[in-house]
Amino acid sequence: MQGKFIVVEGLEGAGKSSVIQLLLNRVKKAGYKCITTREPGGTPMAEAIRECVKHPWQEHVAQETELMLMYAARRQLLVNTIFPALDNNVWVIGDRHNLSSLAYQGGGRQIDEHIMRTLSEITLKDFTPDLTLYLDVDPQTGLERARGRGELDRIEQAGLAFFERTRARYIELAGNDESIITINAMQPIDQVHQDVMSSLNRFLECQ
């Protein structure tokens, strides 16, 4: 038996972290073993790549460099953590996955679609999540929430226009994929959590 891979996506401050705890508890209550991962990161090497990507370097970081680091971290996580877990019938809940790259690097940084597709193919082959919950928030609201948590990292410091493009690409991709469910994350947190639970319960009923 294979475990299921559920991904939570959205801009900074969308509320992914609390939603992931909610999902983890519900999946465990349904009787499945379940782990959580985050991207970039989730293995010792991938966490080192995360530090590297987020560091406020005193030099220009080429967008291709950032892009390839993200995919390198993703490959490490897949091979060393996600694939072995799923093969052992363990469910995985991911804080971000490929949709983040498609939205941030493809939409936000406007990297060529052909490059995005090629890197996705090398990294993922035909692997896709079973369910993605996209928490939709406008950048101003999201960044205000994230700012409340402390200093912004290098990527969070990108301008509002960057996040507007990222959000637009998220919405576009979610609209074209039945396995991605959009949740209005600008609602009060209790309502967001209620919507998340309904989506997860529907998914669990199909297993």
Ligand X SMILES: Nc1ncnc2c1ncn2[C@@H]1O[C@H](COP(=O)(O)OP(=O)(O)OP(=O)(O)O)[C@@H](O)[C@H]1O
Instruction: Report the C-alpha gap between 35 and 19 in whole angstroms.
Output: 14
Residues 161-200 touching ligand X, rule: CB under 6 A, are 185, 188-189, 192
Provide, rounded to whole angstroms, the least separation between the CB of residue 74 and ligand X: 16
List the alpha helices (DSSP H) in 14-159: 16-29, 44-54, 63-77, 83-87, 98-101, 113-124, 139-147
Contact 15, 185 (CB under 8 A): yes
User: Judged by CB, which is closer to ligand X: 15, or 106?
Assistant: 15
Provide, rounded to whole angstroms, the least separation between the CB of residue 114 and ligand X: 28
Provide, rounded to whole angstroms, the least separation between the CB of residue 16 and Mg ion: 5
User: Judged by CB, which is closer to ligand X: 79, or 189?
Assistant: 189
Beta-ladder partners of 131: 6
User: Judged by CB, which is closer to ligand X: 4, or 16?
Assistant: 16
Which contiguous run of DSSP H or E holds residue 196?
helix 189-205
Determine, following the binding rule CB under 5 A, whether residue 2 of this chain makes contact with Mg ion.
Answer: no
Structure tokens given for 169? 């690409």
Provide, rounded to whole angstroms, the least separation between the CB of residue 64 and Mg ion: 26
Residues 62-101 touching ligand X, rule: CB under 6 A, are none
User: Judged by CB, which is closer to ligand X: 86, or 170?
Assistant: 170
Instruction: Report the C-alpha gap between 75 and 77 in whole angstroms.
Output: 5
Binding residues vs Mg ion (CB under 5 A): 16-17
